[in-house]
Chains A and B, each alone.
Chain A
Amino acid sequence: MTATEKVTRELTGIQSADIEAALDPAEADGIYRDSRECAALALFKGGYGLLLSPPTPRPKKG
């Protein structure tokens, strides 16, 4: 690493750890986890309409 690059890294604060974290992200939080329905949609009933359809409403707790 050249002196200029070292200064630049210090100024931007970007380290290899930041890069590696960006390259190994955890899965984003989601709201829908019904694996059986995902399989069914992909294999048997897939299509624009069903992809567009909203997730099945879940009963509220409490």
Chain B
Amino acid sequence: MEQSGTSSLLKGAVQDLASGVVSALRSGDHARAAALERADGEAEGLAPAAVRVLGADALLPSTLLHTPPLPDELAVFRKAVEAYPPGDDAAPTVLWSHWAMRHTLRRHDPGYVGGPRQEPDAAWLEGATWQVLTHQLAVLAALAVPGEDCAVARAARHRPVDVARGFVRAVRRRDWRQAAGAGRWLTLLEGVPQTLGLENGLDFVELMGGQDPLVALQVSAARLTRAGAFA
């Protein structure tokens, strides 16, 4: 299906931003700052929109590596939070994505006090089929952060086998983004079947889909989580 110009523009900006985050995760240095700056320089108006779509993962290097974000990074991130609040009838993933950004902003910018701290409703995950659960968790993979707790993470923790099934299904369907997101969640969960072969599965996902920066980002996050680099 042909994409609209706006859609293509936004997707391209998000991918550029994700590439920068991946570079920063892999290098562990201040290359992360270039991600937001580059997006900002190439298309100034796109940067907050791209950050809003990438969500809390736009600051993932700072979150996982415990390196404070640069002021410019924080400014664009905050602008994204404030410019694109969820609409009245927003989907749960939109609400949770915005909650995750506000939560991340509070962590890195103690001066930020905007928005409610209360978690959105997570009832839509209760009783979801394992296929739907995995898809939704993959969309919300930015919430898969070590040491963080929220209703979505608890829903994942209660169903490790279902997420494992969903991971396999995503691989078999060659849905690399979903597989990478599910794999990232699985690195955080207890009770994942050893027989899943998660390590090798992530290798395979990276091999097959790693040219997509959004896949590479999730796999990089999963590897850092498994390696305990955040501790």
Contacts and interface: CB of A to CB of B under 8 A. Distances in A.
Q: How large is the interface on B (under 10, 10 to 19, 20 to 34, 35 or more residues)?
A: 35 or more
Contacts of B87: 16-17, 20
Interface residues of A, number: 41
Given A12-B46, A51-B204, A25 B139 contact: yes
Contacts, number: 133
Contacts of A52: 204
A14 B43 CA distance: 12
A30 B173 contact: yes
Given A12-B43, A12-B46, A18 B6 contact: yes
For the complex of A and B, the 7 pairs showing the least CB-CB separation, nearest first, are A30-B173, A8-B45, A48-B200, A24-B91, A13-B6, A32-B172, A42-B164
Interface of B: 5-7, 9-11, 14, 43-46, 49, 52-53, 55, 83-84, 86-87, 90-91, 93-94, 97, 130-131, 135, 139, 161, 164-175, 177-178, 193, 195-197, 200-201, 203-204
